Amino acid sequence: MPKIANDLDAFLTQHQSRIEGELFDFLRIPSVSAQPVHDADTLAAAEWVKRSLEQAGLAAAVHATAGHPVVVGEWRGAGPHAPTALVYGHYDVQPAEPLDLWTSPPFEPEVRNGRIYARGSVDDKGQLFLHIKALEAHLRTRGKLPCNVVVIAEGEEEVGSTNLESFIEHNTKLLAADAVVISDSSMFAEGMPSILSSLRGLSYFQLDVQGPSGDLHSGIYGGAVVNPAAALAGIIASMHDANGRVAIEGFYDDVSPFSDEVLAGMRKLPHTDDAFRREIGVKSLGGENGFTTLEKLWTRPTCEVNGMLSGYTGDGAKTVLPAKAMAKVSCRLVPNQDPARIAELFEAHVAKHTPAGVTVKTTYIHGGRPWRADLAGPIFDAAKRAVSAAFGREPVIVGEGGSIPVVGDFERILKAPVLLVGFGLPGENAHAPDEWMSVENFRLGARAMAALWDEYAGS
Amino acid sequence: MPKIANDLDAFLTQHQSRIEGELFDFLRIPSVSAQPVHDADTLAAAEWVKRSLEQAGLAAAVHATAGHPVVVGEWRGAGPHAPTALVYGHYDVQPAEPLDLWTSPPFEPEVRNGRIYARGSVDDKGQLFLHIKALEAHLRTRGKLPCNVVVIAEGEEEVGSTNLESFIEHNTKLLAADAVVISDSSMFAEGMPSILSSLRGLSYFQLDVQGPSGDLHSGIYGGAVVNPAAALAGIIASMHDANGRVAIEGFYDDVSPFSDEVLAGMRKLPHTDDAFRREIGVKSLGGENGFTTLEKLWTRPTCEVNGMLSGYTGDGAKTVLPAKAMAKVSCRLVPNQDPARIAELFEAHVAKHTPAGVTVKTTYIHGGRPWRADLAGPIFDAAKRAVSAAFGREPVIVGEGGSIPVVGDFERILKAPVLLVGFGLPGENAHAPDEWMSVENFRLGARAMAALWDEYAGS
């Protein structure tokens, strides 16, 4: 089992209470990027990150964008022949509402039962900050890092990273790196450090069904007119077959299977369907026949209704034959499905299943590509050793059913592999009241990321 | 061709401008039963009807109910051996909103192009009032009627006739009649007086689908959980087969076919699908294969979605896997389908088509029986002659796709046949802005209903 260097470990132990006090200062800034009332706070958080990077020993600057700024810190003392790593995180947070559901106020961090409760504690201030402190441990102990490191922290992750792709494209020299490291995800379970091997992509649609030019009386007209809500129900029902497979023609054509190794790793994870059922509150699960739950969530594409609206939805009865019906439907995609190609297939399917008597407009709202890590190469090997050193066990390889579009952007623009290693935990309430981060994981995460640079440069 | 008696015709001609002035006074009262702010107006309309009945020569009283009052007028001078007819109408009106869509204010009646524009003009003040004036023509010209007549006018028709059934049940002696006459419907077309032969019944349901205990992230959980909106779409889609027939097991078991004579009459009506399509603004029609449009609307039962709601329905995209989905679904029924029996079959169908992983609660909100007239007997024969006398042509026999529950109540409680003869016209905007009644139909309707009593007593 690899070990973390004694000097780094000693620094982080010695400065533990100061570091956690600084984190609390960071968490007190209500940098809610979605709420213009917090624009000054969001800017204050960017300035705070800049100062924190400088305190750690990096040169840092706040870069204006069309939205919230991007903070970049650099330490290039390892020279042009050493590798360069780029660490990404975000300093903005989700809105804290509904406030009355918080046990302690969202911007007054508090430790209870080994957890730091605050908005942004795990998503992503705590995880960004543990990287800064890992760098500080190197620079304050040894005066140098074994590789060059650039840190980029954005303030728009919670509002779609609107300006980040363009910032990366316009700053490829500043951000050029041999590897990208992101800690903005969770471990599979307590005590089980995890590296993310894949993300699903997305194609999100709105369907607008138009029947008669106005709402009709369902008594006077019912039975001779195609009902737009029933037509929409038929279209939605046509999207799956009896085995739970997506029935859109060509939908699976580009799906590239996961490696046996990754699939075998998933089967070893301590997942039970019973616990999963209890977590979400259902009596039985669903989805595509022939796959385990984790395979369904991480390795298989989906087609899910996100919303539906038609006619009268208030109390009691209104005998209306609605003129319109609307649905939001989105597909999660896996490698190598292409969101735009899926949009074409989806539209064709809808058109084919639209009955005469109504028209359907399919709007492709947005999409994102799926992503899969190579899980090979220096940064992954280094991460496995560094995480093992800090946590005392090898990281497991996990998938993720959601999407993080910026991962693909970094990989594509910088042509560098992306390592996703996160220190959150299931149930951490990242976007909900009572968000928390484990104190233990914050401490071990900082040690793992400090060890990462030794392992990366030594590999 | 029968003729209306000269004295009645002369009276109605001579008093025409006074009668129409009185109708305008009636229409000026904003008796909107649904709006508590108009409670005093609704009461004022009841008092106005009472005075109008008295002016016509009937004894009248306003009877309190738990809601808006019922007005009853009586003339029993024909003696215990003469037949008694009960005339029903309502003095309340629909809300007038949206006010800005009215060409002239809803409670300031105005004649334009031969139409009386006002809220309640055709539904039902104009049609109730023409009956009162027909009675006045008899009583003021001859001092008597050829049969006993009782008039009942309610003030809650537009809010579901909440207290009427109970009023009838508690006043069977006051209301006892050999026939019931109702003018609260429309003619098939201009110049084509119509007698209604049937009404459809109703069973109205709400479906509440519950999946996971809370909304889930459609990326993190999508693909392994039964989506309640998709489950609801599947249930709704299962309700019809490929031929447009309702696929609920046993749904058609109790359907009793319409007579060849009534069906033949329908086929002779001047209906074209092209005109119907243009009226409602669709490119093609739908419904059950093998039936004409009028047969679908009047003689066939239906199952229509009235409303649907699930998940995120705002602008843009939200990647939610909804915890719940809701739909309002109602069946229109034809003789001899029973609403309660249909409710049982509907619930069983929903249960059968509910996938494991969600639960569905089916709520039977309300129902009403279908109705079919005998179209034989003294009141129908008299109506055919009286309408022919006034309009110069025989009435056509039409159906109605909607429901008027009170018709069945009168028939069941009073054990008397109900004649539905209405003088509205297509496009009259009964529940919409710019409601109107044809001046010509108001005049001819009064003459027809005056002639009715001569024909009824003479038959």
Instruction: Tell me what pLDDT residue A459 has.
Output: 58
β-strand partners of B371: B199
Query: Within the 167-196 window of chain A, which residues sit less than 8 Å (CB to CB) from chain B?
Result: none
Closest among B128, B23, B145 to B77, alpha carbons compared: B145
Do the Cβ atoms of B414 and B175 come closer than 8 Å? yes
Looking up tokens 């484990």 gives: A438
Q: Which of B313, B315, B350 to mutate to test the interface with A (most CBs of A within 10 A)?
A: B313
Cα–Cα nearest to A301, from A255, A338, A262, A358? A255
> Mean pLDDT across chain B, nearest whole number?
96
- Chain A hits for B293, Cβ within 8 Å: 224
Residues of A whose CB is below 8 A from B237: 230, 233-234, 236-238
Q: What is the pLDDT of residue B316?
A: 87
Q: In what order do the strands lie in the sheet with A436-438?
A: A110-112, A115-117, A436-438
Q: CA-CA distance, B12 to B134, in Å (whole number)?
A: 8
pLDDT at B374 > cutoff 90: no
- A223 shares contact with chain B (CB less than 8 Å): yes
Closest alpha carbon within chain A to B238: A234
Across the interface, do A233 and B236 touch by the CB < 8 Å criterion?
Answer: yes
The pLDDT tens digits of the residues spanning A181-240 come to 999 999 999 999 999 999 999 999 999 999 999 999 999 999 999 999 999 999 999 999
Query: Does residue B349 surpass a pLDDT of 80?
Result: yes
Mean predicted lDDT score pLDDT of chain A: 96
Closest CA to A453 of A75, A63, A43: A75
Q: Is B112 on the interface with A (CB under 8 A)?
A: no
Say whether residue A232 is in contact with chain B using an 8 A CB cutoff.
yes
* Residue A217, min C-alpha distance to chain B (Å): 8
| B51 CB-near residues (< 8 Å, 6+ apart) | B60
- Per-residue DSSP letter, B121: I
Which residues does chain A have with pLDDT short of 70? 459
User: How many other CB atoms are found less than 10 A from the CB of residue B197?
Assistant: 25
- The minimum CA-CA distance between B222 and chain A, rounded to whole Å, is 6
Top pLDDT among B374 and B281 is at: B281
* Residue A240 Cα, gap to closest chain B Cα (Å): 9
Q: What are phi and psi of B425, to 5 degrees?
A: -140, 155
Cβ within 8 Å, pair A309-B305: no
Looking at CA atoms only, how far is residue A323 from chain B in angstroms?
Answer: 10
Nearest to A304 among B237, B280, B321 (CB): B321
Q: Which of A213, A283, A302 should we substitute to test contact with B (largest number of B Cβ atoms within 10 Å)?
A: A302
Q: Is the pLDDT of residue B459 over 70?
A: no
- Mean pLDDT on B12-38: 97
pLDDT at B160: 84
Å between B311 CA and nearest CA of chain A: 4
**Residue A173: which residues within 8 A CB-CB, separation 6 or more?**
none
Does A311 reach chain B within 8 Å, measured CB to CB?
yes
Q: Which residue of A has its CA nearest to B201?
A: A219
**Which residue among A285, A326, A328 places its CB closest to the CB of B317?**
A328
CB crowding A188-224: b at 16 or more within 10 Å, else e = beeebbbbbbbbbbbbbbbbebbbbeebbebbbbbbb
How confident is residue B152, by pLDDT bands cut at 50, 70 and 90?
Answer: very high
pLDDT one-digit tens code per residue, B291-341: 999 999 999 999 999 999 999 999 888 889 999 999 999 999 999 999 999
A146 to chain B, closest Cα gap in Å: 37
A227 with B286: Cβ contact below 8 A: yes
Amino acid A400: pLDDT: 94
Q: Does residue B23 surpass a pLDDT of 90?
A: yes
d(CA A190, CA A406): 27
Q: How far apart are CA B168 and CA B418, in angstroms?
A: 14
Chain A closest-CA separation from residue B312 CA (Å): 4
- The residues facing A399 across adjacent strands are A198
Q: Which of B230, B300, B307 shows the shortest C-beta gap to A223?
A: B300
Whether A255 contacts chain B with CB within 8 A: no
Task: Give the closest of A216, A280, A301 to B225, CB-based.
Answer: A280
Name every chain B residue with its beta carbon within 8 A of the beta carbon of A275.
Answer: none
The size of the A-B interface in CB pairs under 8 A is 285
The A residues from 343 to 362 touching B (CB cutoff 8 Å) are 355-359
Could you tell me which chain A residue has the CA closest to the CA of B208? A313
* Domains of chain B, start order: 6-199+370-458 (3.40.630.10), 201-255+301-368 (3.30.70.360)
What Cα–Cα distance (Å) separates residue B142 from each residue in B8, B230, B345, B458?
Answer: 9, 69, 57, 16
- pLDDT higher than threshold 80 for residue B458: no
